[in-house]
Structure 1
Amino acid sequence: MSENFSRRGFLGLAAGGVAAAGLAGCGFAPPSGGGGSSSSGALVFRWWGGEARNRAYQQTLDLFKQKTGITVTAQFSGYDGYFNKLNTEFAGGNPPDIFQMDTALVSTYAAKGVLTDLSRYIPDTIHLDTLYPAVRTAGTVGGKPYGVPSGSGYAPVVYDKNVFEQAKIPVPTDNWTWNDFTTIAGELSKAMGSGKYGALDASRDDSGALQPWLRQRGKDLYTAEGVLGFNEDDLKEWFTYWEGLRKSGAICPPEMLSNADSATGNHPLITGQVAMTTGWGLAQIQPLTQHALDIVIVPRGSNGKTGQAPSGGVLLSVPVKSSNPDGAAKLIDFFATDTDAIKIMGIQRGFPPSDKALNTLLPSLSASDKRDVTYGQYVSQEVVKDGIPNAPTAPAGYNDVKNALDAAAKQVAFAKMSVADGVTRFFSDAKTALANAK
């Protein structure tokens, strides 16, 4: 399973505070235009990823050369330091021709004027209409596409089926609500015994819990204008809900959250300390335990809406100083529409973002991957039923806002702040972060 399926990937919209700060400090002016050389010219493609993703990319690039004659030089690394290196190249005027972009940072880079508006390649070169409607706009900023999504994702709750069976408690169903979550988490805590809890505290989980909750109420994390899409009363209700669960013992104490940011053997779900968690996909965390895990949609609102905001996996973007933007556009489309490329890449960059990708990949997926993917299709269908507009792209300053929510939620959880003070602190820090990012 790809490392992309993580809180910092398709569920959490990868963190990038250092990257954003580095870009802001580059001090370069928006370039006047791209290179525009022949589409048969060579390309330089930069991405981050683990060994499996790197291998898949390189095999796909070899195939691209065979089919188009365009040679692609690969540059890759881990996520740490990736955007610092990229920022240095942007500042020096020599960025790669195409690069893997973090969904959470596309607004930051677009605001600096360093990304190509891909509108001129859609639909003739880049067939964006082949992707599911809910993910097509993942790279759109101010109505213009600056990145093309490579996958899709959703916000599930992963739960331990064995614990539910031992506790003789029915597993949650697809139509469960937040009231059901409260009841089930409380029953599990009582049944599991001392030191164990029904669920992980998700009060700080922005995209995996708070965003669906807000969208169920007709709001969102952000507006299309890049400001907060909810108010103090909304966050007070959110923090108060989790405060009640915490005081009743239905969710874990804050000390357990230190092991919840990575899919490792120390995660509270894997150690048996909690029975339910947000923030992860099934196929990512299932290999860490012999227990049978399963997934269910984040609880619905009282109006029956899921509030889900499917993400776009990672994006592919083209700098305005690309020496071959036409060739880069061809490569983007190749990843999205070529059957052989789809097979090689698998789900390294997110769940299949189109029916073509889904039908191509399903026969070869592992059981846990297949469960994740097919449930994702169910969620996509429910999103259509919701009838809620697509979530706006995260604005510049997103990562600092995410950190502000994490900090405020933890202060409340550790009883170092009241709910009211935590709300005040968050809005002060978040508004400052968004203003400074402009």
Structure 2
Amino acid sequence: MSISRRGLFGLAGGLAAASVAGCGFAPTNSGGAANNSLTFRWWGGEARNKAYQSALQIFTQKNGTKVDPQFSGYDGYFNKLNTEFAGGNPPDLFQMDTALVSTYAAKGVLTDLGSFIPNTIHLDTLYSAVRGAGVVDGKTYGVPSGSGYAPVLYDKTVFEQAKIPVPADTWTWDDFGRIAGEMSKAMGQGKYGALDASKDDSGALQPWLRQRGKDLYTGDGKLGFTKDDLAEWFALWDKLRKAGAICPPEMLSNTDSATGNHPLISGQIAMTTGWGLAQMAPLTQHALDIVVVPRGSNGKTGQALSGGVLLCIPAKSKNPEAAAKVIDLFISDVDAIKAMGMSRGIPPSGKALETLTPTLTASDKRDVTYAQYVADEVAKDGLPNAPTAPPGYNDAKTALDSAAKQVAFGKMSIPDAVAQYFRDAEAALQGAK
């Protein structure tokens, strides 16, 4: 199961990143005495808001510290936060986009949580693969709230109608191409076996790279792969495109939102990356299911578990000690874990998984049990944890989207598109430092 695209995959963070980069913040410690209240800011829908407030009531009951909840939608969230940072009055604790933590950490406005670990924040409670989601340059600036991975979501009903076996957990990229081609033929004209995922960085390209011992980025914020790697990646999808196994580029305009217009839901494709059951299952009467992204020839999944959204403490928090206790509540307290449920994604620990599983719906149980399977496979892979997305990530992601579409629409050769991507992405990463 994937965390929502806004929380894990495609992020609407470009404006936020640009805005904070221009603020010229200086790191400042609060220096204030601990008090009996704090403010906590987050974004989310009604279900998440209710869950957070229930958990915060539990915190107040157990710790005696009052929490002032401040919540909104995602749009404008970081603009308001940046204004408060610039004015020196940010909330004491706030929810952070995983892809933006490096940008904020680089400006010195976040508290290094190392002084609270392990005595206050029990980070070892979490799966080892997600603990580093908020780590920048060896320091922990955010604590993850969930776990997620890169799945392939498929329409089981359509597979059954076509009398084609569904993808297996052991499938490879060769299997993917074969199955997508078979499904395209079975589904008929104007329908395709799979989504064109050539532009999907974390949902497809990253596991493909990690299967080869590389990654999207290095620990020091540079590209983690070569031009030859990207050329091979584009060639893989170009071959599938020309064979009619994947959708044409015109169909990609409806793939960034979980709506009835998504080609999987509208019946135009049979498989897609970037989404999980929680987002898509309610949109269709068909039976949907999930499988890992195809494995490499070495059998590795290449999965990089995500930490979902993070919780961070500003350097100017007026009550960092209490804020740290709130963070620990979400990862350690059974009552708070129950209150939050699945509102922030797949449970990030065995403790949370064990706590929640008895009360989950059938589809949620499928999500979490499969996530446990993937976590076990990640451990078998033995690969390093993926580096935190560096400053400039959003512009680098946009550069991949542009280059991939230039190839898909036939407007640019693969070598020229690769050159364009490296030029734009390297400039974005370097300029953000």
Per the normalisation by structure 1, the TM-score is: 0.97
For 1:139, the equivalent position in structure 2 comes to 134
Partners of 2:3 and 2:147 within 8 A in 1: no
Query: Residue 333 of structure 1 aligns to a residue in which SS?
Result: helix
What amino acid sits opposite 1:346 in the alignment? G
User: How many pairs does the alignment contain?
Assistant: 433
Unaligned runs of 5+ in 1: none
Kept in 2: contact 1:36–1:326 (CA 8 A): no
In 1, are the aligned partners of 2:40 and 2:70 still within 8 Å (CA)? yes
Q: Distance in 1 between matches of 2:26 and 2:356?
A: 43
Say yes or no: does 1:186 pair with 2:181.
Answer: yes
Cα separation, 2, equivalents of 1:5 and 1:224: 23
Q: Contact 1:164–1:170 at 8 Å: present in 2 too? A: yes
Query: Partner of 2:33 in structure 1?
Result: 37
The structure-2 alpha-carbon separation of the partners of 1:132 and 1:13, relative to structure 1 and needing over 3 Å to count, comes to farther
- Partner residue in 2 for 1:14: 11
Task: Show CA shifts across 1:191-243 (max 9, x none).
Answer: 10000000000000000000000000000000011100001000000000000
The yes-or-no answer on 1:165 pairing with 2:160 is yes
CA distance in 2, matches of 1:15, 1:210: 19
Partner of 1:79: 74
- Please give the alpha-carbon distance, in whole angstroms, between the structure 2 residues aligned to 1:378 and 1:282: 16
Q: Give, in whole Å, the separation in 2 of the partners of 1:121 and 1:6.
A: 29
Using the TM superposition, give the Cα deviation of residue 15 of structure 1 relative to its aligned residue in structure 2, in angstroms.
Answer: 3.2
Instruction: Tell me what 1:53 maps to.
Output: 48
Instruction: Provide closer, same or farther for how the CA distance between residues 13 and 316 of structure 1 changes in structure 2, counting only shifts above 3 A.
Output: farther
What SS does the corresponding residue of 1:241 show, helix, strand or coil?
helix
Distance 1:65 1:143 in 2: 32
Query: What's the TM-score once normalised by structure 2's chain length?
Result: 0.99
Cα distance in 2, alignment partners of residues 9 and 318 from structure 1: 19
Shift of 1:35: 3.3
- Given that residues 164 and 183 in structure 2 are in contact (C-alpha distance below 8 angstroms), is that contact kept between their aligned partners in structure 1? yes
What residue is the counterpart of 1:367 in the other structure? 362
1:291 aligned counterpart, secondary structure: coil
Contact 1:240 1:419 in 2 (8 A): yes
Q: Which amino acid aligns with 1:400?
A: D
Q: Aligned ranges for residues 76-115 of structure 1 at < 5 Å?
A: 76-115=71-110
Match of 1:405? 400
Letter aligned with residue 7 of structure 1? R
* 1:36 CA drift (Å): 4.6
Which amino acid letter does the alignment assign opposite residue 19 of structure 2? Answer: G
1:433 pairs with 2:431: no
For the residues of structure 1 that align with 2:27 and 2:83, how far apart are their CA atoms? 15
**Gaps in structure 2 of 5+ consecutive residues:** none
Q: CA deviation at 1:62?
A: 1.2
| 1:133 aligned counterpart, secondary structure | coil
Opposite residue 175 of structure 2, the aligned amino acid is D
State the Cα distance separating 1:6 from its structure 2 match: 2.1
Q: Is the 8 A contact 1:222 1:229 kept in 2?
A: yes
Is the CA contact 2:130–2:305 (under 8 Å) kept in the aligned structure 1? yes
Q: Is the 8 A contact 1:100 1:317 kept in 2?
A: yes
Question: Is 2:381 aligned against 1:386?
Answer: yes
Q: Percent identity?
A: 75
Bigger drift between 60-69 and 192-201 goes to 60-69
- After TM superposition, give the deviation of residue 175 of structure 1 in Å: 0.4
1:414 is matched with which residue: 409, 417, 425?
409
Distance 1:178 1:278 in 2: 13
**Letter paired with 2:4:** S
Contact 2:24 2:107 in 1 (8 A): no
Q: What's the offset of the Cα at 1:9?
A: 1.7
Is residue 395 from structure 1 mapped to residue 390 from structure 2 by the alignment? yes
SS at match of 2:374: helix
- Contact between 1:118 and 1:145, CA under 8 Å: does it hold in 2? yes
What secondary structure, in the 3-state scheme, does the structure 2 residue paired with 1:134 have?
Answer: coil
1:9-36 residue CA offsets vs partner (Å, 9 max, x unmatched): 23x06331100101011123222x2335
